[in-house]
Amino acid sequence: MAKAELIDFDEAIEKYDVVIGLEVHVELNTNTKMFCGCANEFGDKPNTNVCPVCLGLPGALPVVNGKAVEYSIAIGLALNCSIASDGRFARKNYFYPDLSKNFQTSQYDEPIAYEGQLEVPVSSGKVYNVAIERAHMEEDAGKLSHVGGAGRIQGAEYSLVDFNRAGVPLVEIVTKPIFDSGAEAPELASAYVRQIREIVKAMDVSDARMERGNVRCDANVSLRPKGQEKLGTRTETKNVNSLRSVENAVRYEIQRQAAILAAGGEITQETRHWHEDKKYTSAGRPKSDADDYRYFPEPDLVPVQPTEELIEQIRTRLPENPASRRARLQQEWALSDNEFRDIVNSDLLDEIDITVSLGVSAQSAKKWWTGEIARIANVEGKEITELSVTPEDVAEIEKMIAAGKLNDRLAREALSGVIAGEGSVAEVVSARGLEVVSDDGALTAAVDKALAEQPDVLEKIRSGKEQAAGAIIGSVMKEMRGQADAGRVRELILERAKS
């Protein structure tokens, strides 16, 4: 499918009000599934974490996972929601082969958490107060793989279903419509998702890995001519699973819809799919507000009735809220607003926080994560969290630098080895032979050799022009394949030249 006609983003914003609404699905990291005792594990052999309940076999009944309820309450509280003291599950009925019972057990008119709000800052410094309509519990569906026909259900030769994911606990967080973000809508959408991710990660209620679908976003976008009261027709771009994609998808939809409206066309109410590789959305299925899921209260489950004590207990265990944590860390790390915003925008707060807690200075931690590591991620077209480098690795590298065992260049090489999956820092250093040569004997021999080869430079040094030593340092470093401490080499050159 070809890209649609777009108009310039600024022109779109000038003509139209942007209204967005975000639905974020968070997969909880409980040990077991939402309604049965099967392991909640990503990446296992297909259809190994299954039982009569999550396979929807005749006669099987669900039982609510109490841990999942606690995690959901924690998310609700972190989003400043009210918690329902009595909430029923409901059945959302529709036929689809990844849905074992052909209904999804969800919550409908009685969500566990409702009416919250979240402050979301963007790069302009503006802070949006995003109103949360609800956060409700539900179960994930299985996973379909379509074989043949370009991997899509239409035209596939056949399709396989993996029910390992069926019944994995989800919390769906739904915002109220956000009206006032204008040109910042794309950035706000991604900042909001990032903040949800930070929150659930900090509380350890989700692995929060977007590339695995632990956190995924459905972005609703509609436009209306400036000054018009009535909302425009919306599209819902489904399952966007990276922060970059959220921003790009919202931006794209604004430009696409604006182009249609400007040409006098009408927006079709539908779901859309985001293609990160080619940066466009394509039409999914038509969606009307009258989609009839025949919701009714789940008769196989008793209502969830968390006690006041339980809710308060969870509240006291909540980690610091992200906004105040950010303020605290910026102060502790003594970073300027710009420096700190770099970190937040690159979504590296957690990594740097942990790195600092391992004894690395804030400046060094920031330098590694927003510098070399971000560069490699960018080159490889990946999210930083997808790279196999940990704060522990960074701390180890810093330790070796401080001990004089690595210089800056060697450290970067060690890091790329770690990211290439060659093992721990120590393993990479030893396998690649990266350690700085601090043996004066070997260095002295190299210095003598270089001085002998460049007698004119030697003369200059002897005549007091010590800056000429640079040329010799270069030769020595080359001779030592970079594995020398430049400071020590310089000392030796001066020493030998004058002897």
Partner 1 sequence: MSELYKKPASELAQMLRSGEVTSVELTELFLDRAEKLNPQTNSFLRINRETALEQAKHADELIMAGNAPSALTGVPIAVKDNLTTTDAITTAGSKILENYLPQYDSTVVSKLRAAAMPILGKTNLDEFAMGSSTEFSAYGPSKNPWDLERIPGGSGGGSSSAVSGFLAPIAIGSDTGGSIRFPAAVTGSVGAKPTYGAVSRYGLIALASSLDQVGPVTNDVMDAALLQDVIAGHDPMDSTSLVDSLGQMADFASKTDIKGLRVGVIKQLASDGFQPSVKARFDESIQMLTDAGAEIVEVDCPSFEYAVSAYYLILPAEASSNLARFDAVRFGERVLPEGNPTIERVMASSREAGFGPEVKRRIILGTYALSSGYYDAYYGSAQKVRTLIQQDFEKAFASADVLISPTAPTTAFKFGEKLDDPLAMYLNDVATIPANLAGIPGISVPNGLAENDLPSGLQILAAAKNDGVMYSAAAGIEKLHNDKWGKRMIDFAPELEAK
**Are the C-beta atoms of residues 81 and 135 closer than 8 Å to each other?**
yes
Stretch that binds partner 1, among 55-63, 230-238, 438-446, 478-486 (CB under 8 A): 55-63
- What is the phi-psi region of residue 269: left when phi exceeds 0, alpha when psi lies from -120 to 50, beta otherwise? beta
Q: Residue 366: which of 381, 346, 380 has the closest Cα?
A: 346
Give the amino acid at 140.
D
Of 9 and 295, CB closest to partner 1 = 295
Residue linked to tokens 């459905």: 218
Q: Is 305 in the site for partner 1 (CB under 8 A)?
A: no
Of 285 and 498, CB closest to partner 1 = 285
Site for partner 1 in 403-462 (CB under 8 A): none
Q: How far is the CB of 47 from partner 1 (least distance, A)?
A: 10
Residue linked to tokens 């930083």: 384
Q: How far is the CB of 415 from partner 1 (least distance, A)?
A: 48
Stretch that binds partner 1, among 19-27, 48-56, 251-259, 275-283 (CB under 8 A): 48-56
Stretch that binds partner 1, among 65-73, 75-83, 295-303, 372-380 (CB under 8 A): 295-303
User: CA 306, CA 289: separation in Å to the nearest integer?
Assistant: 32
User: CA 493, CA 472: separation in Å to the nearest integer?
Assistant: 8
**All residues at 6 or more sequence positions from 5 whose CB lies less than 8 Å from its CB, including other chains:** 256, 259, 260, 263
Q: How far is the CB of 222 from partner 1 (least distance, A)?
A: 22
**Are the C-beta atoms of residues 443 and 484 closer than 8 Å to each other?**
yes
Give the amino acid at 426.
A
Residue linked to tokens 């436009």: 223
Q: How far is the CB of 130 from partner 1 (least distance, A)?
A: 29
Which of 33, 101, 201, 272 forms a contact with partner 1 (CB under 8 A)? 101
Site for partner 1 in 234-263 (CB under 8 A): none
Which of 231, 283, 302, 334 forms a contact with partner 1 (CB under 8 A)? 302
Which of 259, 301, 358, 480 forms a contact with partner 1 (CB under 8 A)? 301
**Are the C-beta atoms of residues 30 and 169 closer than 8 Å to each other?**
yes
Q: Give the number of other CB atoms < 10 A from CB of residue 163.
A: 22
Q: Is 369 in the site for partner 1 (CB under 8 A)?
A: no
Question: What are the structure tokens assigned to 400, written together?
Answer: 């070796």
Of 153 and 402, CB closest to partner 1 = 153
Of 142 and 391, CB closest to partner 1 = 142
Of 93 and 345, CB closest to partner 1 = 93
Q: Is 33 in the site for partner 1 (CB under 8 A)?
A: no
Which of 57, 334, 420, 431 forms a contact with partner 1 (CB under 8 A)? 57
**All residues at 6 or more sequence positions from 2 whose CB lies less than 8 Å from its CB, including other chains:** none
Question: What are the structure tokens assigned to 87, written together?
Answer: 């909430």
Of 109 and 180, CB closest to partner 1 = 109
User: CA 325, CA 323: separation in Å to the nearest integer?
Assistant: 5
Q: How far is the CB of 284 from partner 1 (least distance, A)?
A: 17
User: CA 107, CA 69: separation in Å to the nearest integer?
Assistant: 12
Each residue 160-189 as x (binds partner 1 by CB under 8 A) or -, in order, gives -x----------------------------
User: CA 472, CA 470: separation in Å to the nearest integer?
Assistant: 5
Q: Is 64 in the site for partner 1 (CB under 8 A)?
A: yes
Stretch that binds partner 1, among 52-60, 175-183, 377-385, 410-418 (CB under 8 A): 52-60
Q: Is 292 in the site for partner 1 (CB under 8 A)?
A: yes
Q: Is 290 in the site for partner 1 (CB under 8 A)?
A: yes
Q: Give the number of other CB atoms < 10 A from CB of residue 337.
A: 9
Q: Is 93 in the site for partner 1 (CB under 8 A)?
A: yes
Of 104 and 370, CB closest to partner 1 = 104
The DSSP code sequence of 311-349 is: HHHHHHHPPPPHHHHHHHHHHHHT--HHHHHHHHHTT-H
User: CA 382, CA 246: separation in Å to the nearest integer?
Assistant: 15
Full 3-state SS string of 263-283: CCCCCCCEEEEEECCCCEEEE
Q: Is 145 in the site for partner 1 (CB under 8 A)?
A: no
Q: How far is the CB of 89 from partner 1 (least distance, A)?
A: 10
Strand 169-175, strand 158-162: pairing: unpaired
Of 109 and 392, CB closest to partner 1 = 109
Give the total of residues touching partner 1 (CB under 8 A). Answer: 31
Q: Is 88 in the site for partner 1 (CB under 8 A)?
A: no
Contact residues for partner 1 (CB under 8 A)? 52, 55-64, 91, 93, 95, 97, 100-103, 153, 159, 161, 290, 292, 294-296, 299-302
